[in-house]
Amino acid sequence: METVKKVLLILASLIVIAGLIMLVKSGLNYEDGYSKSMLLDTAKQYALYIGIATVIILVYFGVKYAKNGVGKVIATSALVIIGTQIVILSITALSKIKVNRMFFPIALVAYITSLIALCAKFEKN
Amino acid sequence: MKLKKYKKTVTVVIILIVALIMFASFFGASIKNSQGEKIGIIPDFKLGMEFGNKRVITATINNESSTVIYDSEGNVVEQEEGVEYTEEAGYKTEEIKVNADSVRTVENYKKEKEIIEERLKKNNITEYFINLNESTGKITIEIPENNEADSVQETISTISSFMLLDGETFETLLDESKLKEANVMYSQGNLEMAVFLQLEFNEEGTKKLQELNEIYVESETEQTNENGEVETVQTSKTAWVILNNQIIGQTVLPNIVYNDKIMLTFGVSSDNTELQEATKQANSSAILLNAGTSPIVYDFTNETQGSTISMEAMFTFLVCVGIVFIAAYVFMIIDFKAIGFIASYFQIGFLATLLLILRFTNVSITIEGIAGIIIAMLLQYLYTYIVLNSMNKEKEGMYKKSNLEFFLNSFPIYVIAVVFTFAKRVYISSFGMTIFWGIITIYVYNFVFTKFIYENLSRRSSNGNS
């Protein structure tokens, strides 16, 4: 199990590195009628609400699972949340999937899935 | 024995009620009216813009220009037919663009986009997409093609302006560049109410208005008539009032200036309908002025386009999601056998219940809303799994413990649902609202329908084992 985890972690790191290089080099592949400015505009609309929700959730995790170390819990949570989004972005950049309005719902589902996984992990510990 | 029979009856009734809910949700329910026509009693889904027709309004920079001819002394010459205005004859021709090159900057393009967004927000229009092409300045706005589309389009394309012009020379005395704020005000008389648009100016504008208020007035002068008699004659120096490119009228300023602010009357009436209409127009004008004026002149065109997402694409997507859930239910059946099968039945019942609730609460279903429904289904699956796993432990309060475990595992989702519900943009609030109702439905649905079934299955299986 530990080996599988390590392999998955290495694979994810490689995907992230390759994806970020591709992102910087050639950007995302946008569908007709969708553009970078629309993506950034939509991201700005989400930023406030995601920010508020994430802060509340991190504070909740820090208080609820304080026994595991507040700093460690918050750092792990932040890393998992941000890491999931970076992986989604990297896969999108690498695979050249056409980016359209579906991008944000997919990112939201990934965000929520990462939160459920974090909760389950902390509860188990 | 009686208790066993009662439990069986209740179980059957619960299963039948859930079946009824599924039928109503997936196939609809209707009643016949007095004319014998079928009328649906369940409201339709309120679908987002991407599932229906949309109006695409395109704002492009006006590239027109006008030709102005100057004579050798620099005076503007009115063009006459048959006359050649050449340089040799001492004339100078200049092409004046509606939009000079100096205003065609990215900052001004962004300013126009912000003005349009401000107008949409202040008019409580929450469902729109706006896209700016920074290289050409072209702005594309997408709105739902519905009853309000025409008025929204007018809101976007109306040029906002305010001008006071001299009544004779048409010289601009005051304009919107000095405007601080526009507000709608009311005044209640004995019998009627008046609706005003109040224009408040900045320090410079207020000072200018005070000066103009002394000049553009009615005055009395003494004149000698034909008979040699001195008589008093009333004269007035008036100003034209132009609001949002429409001529409001010509008047002396004391008629419209009160407390160093301009008050334009939009309606005086005792009729509520007329007052509401006057208030609506005054509000609309206030919003246009407060949003600001763009330095660039745009041309607006519009067209209606079909839905962004085809029904085939949506169907394919839902089938894929369905296959994933079916695989999850098969896994549940393999793991928990007969109980897993019953649990899968109630999973589908949950989806039917949630969809009914979303229809009755008039929640907008956008792509993000569908993602919210999928997450609610995931949470319901998680809840059921926790309950089924706890079922074998014949401890007091097994159900309460399962509820607590589920709550602790999914608390962050409640935070997201509540925070997103307050968003103004429809596609964000749709996500929050669907999860919000999904969470409430999980607790209520499971308490009402599945708690009895699972508890009795749990007791029966433990009695069977002993």
Select from B131, B367, B432 the Cβ nearest to the Cβ of A37: B131
Q: What's the rounded Cα separation, in Å, for the pair B420 and B436?
A: 9
B65 near B38, Cβ under 8 Å? no
Select from A101, A104, A109 the Cβ nearest to the Cβ of B375: A109
- Interval A109-120 mean pLDDT: 90
Strand B239-243 and strand B162-166: the pairing is antiparallel
Distance of residue B363 Cα from the nearest chain A Cα, in angstroms:
17
- Interval B259-272 mean pLDDT: 91
**In which residue are the tokens 């098969």 written?**
B330
pLDDT at residue B85, as a whole number: 75
Q: What's the rounded Cα separation, in Å, for the pair B446 and B332?
A: 17
User: For chain A, where are the E strands, in sequence order?
Assistant: 29-30, 98-99
Which chain B residues in 101-140 lie under 8 Å from chain A, judged by CB atoms? 129-134
pLDDT at residue B201, as a whole number: 93
pLDDT at residue B465, as a whole number: 45
Select from B130, B367, B419 the Cβ nearest to the Cβ of A105: B367
Residue A56 pLDDT class (50, 70, 90 cuts): very high
- Between B198 and B230, residue with greater pLDDT: B198
Instruction: Give the whole-number percent of chain B exceeding pLDDT 90.
Output: 41
Q: What's the rounded Cα separation, in Å, for the pair B206 and B179?
A: 9
- Interval A61-66 mean pLDDT: 90
- Which range scores top for mean pLDDT: A7-11, A71-75, B31-35? A71-75
3-class secondary-structure state, position A43: helix
Q: How many CB atoms lie within 10 A of CB B386?
A: 18
Q: Is the pLDDT of residue B68 over 60?
A: yes
Q: What's the rounded Cα separation, in Å, for the pair A73 and A77?
A: 6
Which of A33, A7, A31, A12 minimizes the C-alpha distance to A89? A12
Per-residue pLDDT tens for B46-67?
988 888 889 999 999 998 888 8
pLDDT at residue B466, as a whole number: 40
The identity of residue B60, as a single letter, is T
Task: Give CA separation, B95 vs B68, B75, B238, in Å.
Answer: 6, 15, 34
Which of B356, B326, B373 minimizes the C-alpha distance to B18? B356
Distance of residue A82 Cα from the nearest chain B Cα, in angstroms:
16
Considering the entire predicted model, what is its pTM?
0.82
pLDDT at residue B395, as a whole number: 59
Task: Give CA separation, A8 vs A103, A125, B91, in Å.
Answer: 24, 21, 79
Q: Cβ of A63 under 8 Å from any chain B Cβ?
A: no
**In which residue are the tokens 């008050």 written?**
B263
Residue B368 pLDDT class (50, 70, 90 cuts): very high
Give the ipTM of the model, two decimals please.
0.89
Q: Is the pLDDT of residue B29 over 50?
A: yes
Q: What's the rounded Cα separation, in Å, for the pair B456 and B466?
A: 15
- Interval B226-241 mean pLDDT: 82
Per-residue pLDDT tens for B425-438?
998 999 999 999 99
Q: Cβ of B413 under 8 Å from any chain A Cβ?
A: yes
Q: Cβ of B375 under 8 Å from any chain A Cβ?
A: yes
- Interval B137-155 mean pLDDT: 89
**Helix A103-124, helix B398-421: angle, nearest 10:** 140
Inspect the interface and report whether the beta carbons of A49 and B428 lie closer than 8 Å.
Answer: yes
CA of residue A16 relative to chain centroid, distance: 11
Inspect the interface and report whether the beta carbons of B131 and A38 lie closer than 8 Å.
Answer: yes
pLDDT at residue B263, as a whole number: 93
**In which residue are the tokens 């704020």 written?**
B181
pLDDT at residue B3, as a whole number: 64
- Which range scores top for mean pLDDT: A25-39, B112-126, B385-399? B112-126
Search chain B and give the residue with CA nearest A118.
Answer: B409
The two three-digit tokens of residue B94, written as one number: 């200049």
Q: What's the rounded Cα separation, in Å, for the pair B238 and B166?
A: 7
